[in-house]
Amino acid sequence: MNKVLVTGGAGFIGSNFVHHMLRCYRDLTMVNLDSLTYAGNLGNLSDLKEDSRHIFIRGSVGDSDLLTELFSEHAFDAVVNFAAETHVDRSLRDARPFLDTNLGGTQNLLDAARAGGAGRFVQISTDEVYGSLGEQGRFTEHSPITPNNPYSATKAGADFLALAAHESHDLDVVITRCSNNYGPFQFPEKLIPLMIGNALDDKRLPVYGDGLHVRDWIHVDDHCAAIDTVLRTGRAGEIYNVGSMHDVPNVEVVKEILHHLGKPESLIQYVEDRPGHDRRYAIDASKIQNELGWSPTVSFRDGLKATVEWYVNSKDWLDEIRSGDYQVYYQKMYGDRDRSTGIRPV
């Protein structure tokens, strides 16, 4: 494999994946297409400015003419599609960008990959397409698809489009569905960087509902290694769940962050829950472990500690990200939830 197109490669997981691949494979060229919306940040790739193996192109997967041009100019061995609108809260306020990018953009990219002869297409999905679990059990690749918000619904639709391209046109498609990621360069609308940033500034830490919503947390480095494994050895037409089997209630994650920073738990403020908030996610990753030999290597305790330290040491990056438009967004999301719900964990 000599040349890979990565879409959304200036975002959190995408930029970490670019770094992972260039670190592991010296003869690989990564063409990175990103439209640099609010969550895309060239600062995530600043150390690659002089690396000829990284070619950055600003553009959208919604631009079918640009995609045609790219595939005409480059002989891609594979496509890895991270490009997506990803935040549930934003999708609840305005679903249109999620339809345009997650559905329309994915179909454009599938069409271009098929016409351009890309060898493999890896669709980066999410465990949220499965909906919410009860108190027991884990999502497998055969779990029903029951999304509960516009974000997860459009990601589920993108998965179906990718599988349809495999069945209808014999495109070499593989799908990964991962649990909640954390690590460097994550946009501070997501739980862990949001809480780190607020705690550093001694601001309140808004926790939805009773704080007992459970997520399976995986370090982004482990996720990138899993995608690399699927890219190289996954079976066409298959879906692979990726997770660390470390299920933690949100409020426990927040308390751990406060512990690492030496901040009091009194900074936690429980706020009104968001609509359709899935109660519990948990991933069964035995398929990728048994078939492809991947397994996570970063413990949650060590990974969270390292992540907190990264944000502490990258305060300038965090402050720049949180300026301007982000403040407007933050006020929209949490300003009208300023009152405490009075709910506490049991």
Catalytic residues: 127-128, 151
Q: What pLDDT, in 10s, does the model give residues 265-289?
A: 999 999 998 887 888 888 999 999 9
- Domain extent at residue 76: 3-182+218-242
Judging by DSSP bridges, how do beta strands 173-178 and 239-242 pair with one another? parallel
In a domain, 88, yes or no: yes
In a domain, 262, yes or no: no
Residue found under tokens 């063409």? 31
Q: What pLDDT, in 10s, does the model give residues 207-222?
A: 999 999 998 999 999 9
The per-residue pLDDT for 333 is: 58
In a domain, 267, yes or no: no
CA-CA distance, 129 to 204, in Å (whole number)? 31
CATH code for the domain in which residue 23 is found: 3.40.50.720
Judging by DSSP bridges, how do beta strands 3-7 and 120-126 pair with one another? unpaired
> How does DSSP assign 280-310, residue by residue?
B--B--HHHHHHH-------HHHHHHHHHHH
Q: How many domains, the chain?
A: 1
Q: φ and ψ at 236, to 5 degrees? A: -60, 140
Higher per-residue confidence, 93 vs 328 = 93
Higher per-residue confidence, 281 vs 337 = 281
> Does residue 185 come out as left (phi exceeding 0), alpha (psi in the -120 to 50 range) or beta?
left
In a domain, 119, yes or no: yes
CA-CA distance, 240 to 115, in Å (whole number)? 26
Q: What pLDDT, in 10s, does the model give residues 220-278?
A: 999 999 999 999 999 999 999 999 988 889 999 999 999 999 999 999 999 998 887 88
Structure tokens at 315: 């305060």
Q: What is the mean pLDDT of residues 168-183?
A: 97
The per-residue pLDDT for 329 is: 60
CB 172 within 8 A of CB 236: yes
Q: Average pLDDT over the chain, rounded to whole?
A: 91
- Reported as a pLDDT band with limits 50, 70 and 90, residue 335 is low
For residue 312, the tally of other CB atoms under 10 A from its CB is: 13
Task: Work out the percent of the chain whose per-residue pLDDT is above 70.
Answer: 94
In a domain, 206, yes or no: no
Coil vs helix vs strand at 211: coil
The per-residue pLDDT for 324 is: 65
